[in-house]
A and B are shown apart, each in its own frame.
Chain A
Amino acid sequence: MPISPSTADRAAPSRRTADAILTVGNIDMRFETPDGTLVAVDDVSFTVAPGEFLSVIGPSGCGKSTLFNVIGGLLGGYQGRVTVAGETITGPHASIGMVFQEESTFPWRTVTDNVAFPLELIGMPKQKRIERARHFIRLVGLDGFENRYPGELSGGMRQRVSLARTLASEPKILLMDEPFAALDEQTRLLLGDKVLQIQQDLKQTTLLITHNITEAVQMSDRILVMTYRPGKVKRIVDIDLPRPRTSEIVGSEAFGRYVAQIWADLREEASRGMQDDESRALHPGGARP
């Protein structure tokens, strides 16, 4: 059955605001640089409904990571408001679990101890937290590696440990910043399957920051496309593909159409980014033509 891509306009988030678990309202983030004020994120607003998988996609330099840090409460000094279930975020919040782009496991802890880390922080008794940690280790498919150290695991396995550690804190919202960026394409697709399966099983509200179109279409209910500097919402695309999904969907016709549509949106922005980079390389520190 052919499924046609549908595009929601920028007013779409407001329809979801009533039942939203995460609301990002008019976020504006500026940095002072030697070349003047850099507007990293400009008036970005969107909402995420409970259980929804939303991806934010954009070219390098569009402020995706800034947005990740703002929503995660790691970055202050912005204008606008981020709320989780109606509560305004002023710093890191227990309801938001973050998975980082860089490898972020603790090399001095075993897989179990890494995953049990957030449980240790809340003072859960040792035996209980080991049992809970093992549950999440199984969930990410790492049973048998409980007593290994991250140094003994592959990059993909370490990212799964990070994911399990974040899931162990049972966040209301899972916030991921290009978690598969450092992995090869096959591992990326397979890990995407794993994340999809977990997200569907746990009905986990997820916000994924990525620059990978395939990854975004494979996993998302909606995709927010950002413009190159300043980072604004260019378009929000509803992904009307059947669930449960796996990476097999990558070969479908509808998938291809979504990828083409998002690439058409991104292409212009990515070209602008490339031109900007070239211009800066030619005129370092000087006025741009």
Chain B
Amino acid sequence: MNTLAIARIHRAAPLIGLLVVVVFIVLIEFLIRIGIVNRFIVPPPSEIIGSFKRVIVEEDIIHRFFVTATECLTAGVMLTVFGVAGGVLLHRFKLLQQATETWIAAMASAPTVLMYPLFLVIFGRSAWTMIMMGFVAALPPVILKTLEGLSSTRRVLIDVGRSFNLTPTQQFWKILFPAAMPTIFVGIRLGLIFALINIVGVEFLINFGGLGALINDLAERYDLAGTYASICFVILVSVLFFMGLEKVERWLRPFE
């Protein structure tokens, strides 16, 4: 494929993506209007769009958006620091790795959100409950992906380091860590998804905090359009985080 064709695909891809979303919305609107989809279960997209102004003005959604975003950011920073450090420790100490890797993998697939009563007891009805729930749920993929990245560093790169007589610290910072970066970023991305799901989920369950609590409020008032509008804001949090992460990744890895 020539460069021109690749450039054309790069330009067309976001437009096609947007078009798919628009077609989907129009289709749902159409199915609701002709009665195939029940409007008391799924409100028409036009009503959802119409309720944006109301939820912004009346429900203070901007403030709630920032509450959820701050919780996600805090959990994201914590899981990056502790998750990467955990992966490094497991890579460094093989005994620790062999003793705990299976448990950590099991934790990654466990429904940790069900532990929210315990977290409520420990941290009270505060933002820390959400942050810690997000953190605990998102930690395993970051640890495992960091470990995978470090373990799968190509042997020849390690040998290059050895041939230049690198100290273990130099070997880590100059070869192992940069080589593992792409996989670590995959882990952080996965972790952020887990964190966001758990944070909004717990906000919803305990009816406290940002967007999750608002969704709970609106659902209990049977304000379906408002509920779906709030869900759109949750998606916005996710989009913003991924865009931010992509920027950081591009800055750290300009060669990709």
Contacts and interface: CB of A to CB of B under 8 A. Distances in A.
A93 B163 CA distance: 7
Contacts of A100: 156, 159-160
Interface residues of B, number: 20
B162 A74 contact: yes
Nearest to A101: B156
Given A121-B170, A149-B255, A151-B255, A104 B160 contact: yes
Nearest to B159: A74
B178 interface: yes
Given A106-B178, A108-B178, A98 B166 contact: no
Contacts of B163: 72-74, 92, 96-98
Nearest to A114: B160
Interface of A: 72-74, 91-94, 96-98, 100, 102-104, 106-108, 110, 117-118, 121, 149-151, 169
Contacts of B174: 117
Contacts of A104: 156-157, 159-160
Contact of B164 (A108, A117, A150, A151): A117
Q: In the A-B complex, list the 4 residue pairs whose CB atoms are closest, starting with the nearest.
A: A149-B255, A102-B156, A98-B163, A108-B178
Point out which of B156, B159, B160 has the most chain A C-beta atoms below 10 A from its C-beta.
B160
Interface string B217-240: 000000000000000000000000
B175 interface: yes
B164 A169 contact: yes
B255 to A, nearest CB: 4
Given A74-B163, A151-B255, A106 B156 contact: no
A88 to B, nearest CB: 16
Given A100-B156, A108-B255, A121 B166 contact: yes
B39 interface: no
A117 B157 CA distance: 13
B254 to A, nearest CB: 8
Given A92-B165, A102-B154, A108 B181 contact: yes
Interface in B161-187: 162-166, 170, 174-175, 178-179, 181
Contacts of A96: 163
Contacts of B255: 107-108, 110, 149-151
Residue from B156, B163, B178 with most neighbouring chain A CB atoms (10 Å): B163
Contacts of B253: 108
Nearest to B165: A92
Contacts of A118: 164
A74 to B, nearest CB: 6
Contacts of B170: 121
A106 B165 contact: no
Given A91-B165, A110-B255, A151-B256, 6 more contacts: A98-B160, A102-B156, A106-B175, A108-B178, A118-B164, A151-B255
Nearest to A94: B165
A93 B165 CA distance: 7
Nearest to A169: B164
Contacts of A103: 156
B220 to A, nearest CB: 51
Contacts of A72: 163
Nearest to B154: A102
Contacts of A150: 255
Contacts of B254: 149
Contacts of B164: 92, 117-118, 121, 169
Contacts of B156: 100, 102-104
Contacts of A108: 178-179, 181, 253, 255
A96 B164 CA distance: 9
Contact of A106 (B157, B159, B162): B157
Contacts of B160: 98, 100, 104, 106
Contacts of A102: 154, 156
A100 B175 CA distance: 16
Contacts of A93: 165
A76 to B, nearest CB: 12
B178 A92 contact: no
Nearest to B178: A108
Contacts of A110: 255
16 contacts: A73-B163, A74-B159, A92-B163, A92-B164, A93-B165, A96-B163, A98-B159, A100-B159, A100-B160, A104-B156, A106-B157, A107-B255, A108-B178, A117-B174, A121-B170, A169-B164
A186 B100 CA distance: 51
A55 B179 CA distance: 32
Contacts of B157: 104, 106
B162 to A, nearest CB: 5
Contacts of B159: 74, 98, 100, 104
B212 to A, nearest CB: 38
A92 B175 contact: no
A289 to B, nearest CB: 35
A102 B163 CA distance: 14
